[in-house]
Each structure stands twice: as C-alpha cells, then as structure tokens.
Amino acid sequence: MKPILYMAPIMGVTGCIYRNTYSQFFNGYDIAVMPFINNTSKKKSLLSDVLPERNKANFELVPQILHKNPKDFIILAKNLYEMGYKTVNWNLGCPLPMIRKKKKGSGLLPYSDEIVNFLKEVIAELPNQISLKVRLGSEEKSDLANLLPMLNDFPLKEIIIHPRTGKQLYTGEVDLTAFEESLSLTNHTIVYSGDIDSLEKYKILSARFPIVNRWMLGRGGITNPFLPEQIKNIESANKDANLKRFISFHQALLYGYQKELSGQAHLIGKMKEVWRYWVKAFEGGDRLFLDISRTNNVKKYLDTIEQFFREKPSARY
Ligand SMILES: Cc1cc2nc3c(=O)[nH]c(=O)nc-3n(C[C@H](O)[C@H](O)[C@H](O)COP(=O)(O)O)c2cc1C
C-alpha cells in the first residue's frame, strides 16, 4: 500500500507561500497540517495563512487550532468550515514552555478529563471532523497512555503522534517503544511524526510499524524537499537536475516572500528560517548559514547564494 504523506506544521516555515511554492516544484505530499492559529476573529489579516483564495497547493490542507476553550474552538472551527475546511486539527502537542504553562498544547495532556469534556462539547457542535496532534505527555509519557483508551469512543478523524514529551522539546530520542504501546491502546487511525529525515529512516520505521500507513515529515522534509518523492519512489533524476530544481524552488520562494513582505531585513530573516534546515543537506552548509546570517541586504544575500551554487555544492539529494 502506498504511504500517505503529511507535511508537518512548522511554524515560521510551512506557511501558505512555502506550501504553494513547494507544490509547484515537488510531488509526494498528500496532506499538509498548517501551523496553528489561535484567534476567533473573522478578520482576513488574522487568517491570511488559511484563506482559500491564497492557498494553491495541490495537496489537502488541514488547519490547526490551539484553543483549549471549547467556545473559542467552535467559533474558529465553524469559520474554517465556511471556508471549506472539512477537517480541523487540535494541537495537543505544542511544547513551548509559555504554552504548556497555560495548559495548552502538550501542557493539557495530563488533564485527560478536561480533554474528554472538551471533545464532548466540541464534537456535538462542530460541522467539521476533528483530528488530534499529540505528544507522549507534558512531562511524563504516561499522559498519552492514560488518555488514549478514553478517546476510543469519539469519532476522531485520526491522531497524529510525535513520540516525545513536551518537556523534551525537540531534544533526545523519539520513544518508539512508547509509540508502539500507543498503537495497542487506540482504535483510531494513527499518523507517525518524528525525525524522519531520510529514506532509510522511513524504511526502518515502516518495517517496524506495518499497521501505520500515514507518515508526517517535518524538519527532514524541509531539509530534503525531495524526500516525499524518494519515499513514494517517484522517478528520481540525477544530482545536477535535482540541484537545478532546488535552485528554482529557492528563487520562487524568495520571489513569493518578496511580494508579501516589506523591508529587506524581514525578507532575509524569512529566508534564513528555511536555510536553517536547507543547509543541513549541503556539504559546507554551516559556513553558508554563517554567511547568510551576516547578510542584511538582498543584493548581498543573492551574491552569497549565487557564489555558493556556482561552486556546485555536494548535496544529499
Ligand atoms: C520550529 C518548529 C515549529 C513547529 N510548529 C508546529 C505547529 O505549529 N503545530 C504543530 O502541531 N507542530 C509544530 N511543530 C512540530 C512538528 O510538526 C513535528 O511534529 C515535529 O517537528 C516532529 O517531526 P520532525 O522530526 O519530522 O520535524 C513544530 C516544530 C518545529 C521544529
């Protein structure tokens, strides 16, 4: 069975312009979960990332909501439904200390009764289907193990699991034993998310978890934008052609941001966020990142990039 691939929400990177541009140059993703939104307003400026008229990607899009107050969640989910979004994702995974402290994101995971009450109230009102994105817990990985059996009777679309605790942020290893245990505790469709950064890693995980057919790629899918095609075995070209395709993607992304952002520093700052991941695919990438970090105008930025590509850097793809 062909795997179903998800573009992970990575706040600051996988926004609308990235998704649109990516899908002009690459194939392989079936779905993208969008970085979370956290307001109840209908104001277009606050919903710009999810506005249907701005979103041109050729994969399904699922907006994500961070609210833990059912009323706010329902208002936003209904707005999104009117925009055409038949599924919304509830963020129970955000590990940021500020968010966790407010009992939001992964900070809500220890409070399984609150989660159950929330779902009862919200599901009764929602026209949309709801999926969850969770971690193993806030501080303890037992949070999810306690919660999962309580979710079995809810009509959830699916549960995306990133097998770390919130306290871990993005450090340490993913806990595959705890993930395996999670599979045995749920009757919902499970999507795996965490550290898939190569075809080999994907093969190891898919061999270990044959009942999982949905895989979310985050940082690894940004670093290597060819990864979804590699996983799906979509024809692979030679390294020269791949580098050319990557360069065209870079130019189109830069142009996309240029049209939206005002000020050179803002534009370069945005490109830096993506380069933080991209450089990991290149030999000499660290040096390039340093050079880009010292850049404060577009001319110098373009010179730096052109010089780097002129030397035909060796890439992982
Ligand atoms: C900078 C950054 C921003 C993220 N933003 C979100 C977000 O908005 N919503 C969410 O559910 N997960 C978010 N994540 C988590 C990812 O979606 C993903 O689950 C996690 O990075 C593990 O997958 P990976 O190892 O493939 O990156 C973010 C991760 C990073 C590193």
Average pLDDT over residues 224-238: 93
Whether residue 236 has pLDDT greater than 90: no
Instruction: Report the CATH number that the domain containing residue 40 is assigned in CATH.
Output: 3.20.20.70
pLDDT band of 40, cuts 50, 70, 90: confident
Specify whether 224 is located in the same domain as 277.
no
pLDDT band of 271, cuts 50, 70, 90: very high
For residue 67, what are the domain limits? 4-232
Identify whether 317 is part of a domain.
Answer: no
* 243-249-251-257 Cα dihedral, nearest 10 degrees: -150
In the prediction, which pLDDT does 45 show?
82
Identify whether 165 is part of a domain.
Answer: yes
Specify whether 188 is located in the same domain as 261.
no
In the prediction, which pLDDT does 140 show?
97
Identify whether 171 is part of a domain.
Answer: yes
Strand partners, 162: 135
How many structural domains compose the chain?
2
- Domain final residue, candidates 216, 232, 248: 232
Identify whether 316 is part of a domain.
Answer: no
Average pLDDT over residues 102-131: 98
Average pLDDT over residues 153-180: 97
Residue 138, SS3 per DSSP: coil
Specify whether 56 is located in the same domain as 100.
yes
Specify whether 89 is located in the same domain as 128.
yes
Specify whether 83 is located in the same domain as 204.
yes
In the prediction, which pLDDT does 41 show?
81
Q: 315: which DSSP letter?
A: B
CA-closest residue to ligand 1 atom 22? 194
pLDDT band of 30, cuts 50, 70, 90: very high
Cβ atoms of residues 281 and 316 within 8 Å: yes
Average pLDDT over residues 161-165: 98
Cβ atoms of residues 32 and 6 within 8 Å: yes
pLDDT band of 9, cuts 50, 70, 90: very high
Instruction: Indicate the pTM of the whole model.
Output: 0.97
In the prediction, which pLDDT does 100 show?
97
Specify whether 243 is located in the same domain as 228.
no
pLDDT band of 136, cuts 50, 70, 90: very high
Identify whether 201 is part of a domain.
Answer: yes
Cβ of residue 191 lying under 6 Å from some atom of ligand 1 = no
Specify whether 106 is located in the same domain as 210.
yes
Identify whether 278 is part of a domain.
Answer: yes
- Domain final residue, candidates 214, 232, 250: 232
pLDDT band of 93, cuts 50, 70, 90: very high
Identify whether 118 is part of a domain.
Answer: yes
37 Cα: distance to centroid of ligand 1 (angstroms): 14
In the prediction, which pLDDT does 38 show?
87
Identify whether 130 is part of a domain.
Answer: yes
Q: Which residue has the higher pLDDT, 236 or 17?
A: 17
Closest residue by Cα to residue 151 from 191, 122, 113, 125: 113
- Domain final residue, candidates 190, 206, 232: 232
Specify whether 146 is located in the same domain as 247.
no
| Rounded CA separation 266/240 (Å) | 31
Cβ of residue 218 lying under 6 Å from some atom of ligand 1 = yes
Whether residue 198 has pLDDT greater than 90: yes
φ and ψ at 255, to 5 degrees?
Answer: -65, -40
Specify whether 171 is located in the same domain as 283.
no
Specify whether 11 is located in the same domain as 129.
yes
Specify whether 183 is located in the same domain as 243.
no
Cβ of residue 176 lying under 6 Å from some atom of ligand 1 = no
E-strand stretches of the chain: 4-7, 31-33, 60-62, 64-65, 87-92, 129-137, 159-165, 190-193, 214-217
Specify whether 156 is located in the same domain as 294.
no
Name the average pLDDT for the chain: 96
* 31, 132, 168, 219, best to mutate for ligand 1 pocket (most atoms within 8 Å of CB): 219
Whether residue 219 has pLDDT greater than 90: yes
- The tens digit of pLDDT for each residue in 138-160 reads 999 999 999 999 999 999 999 99
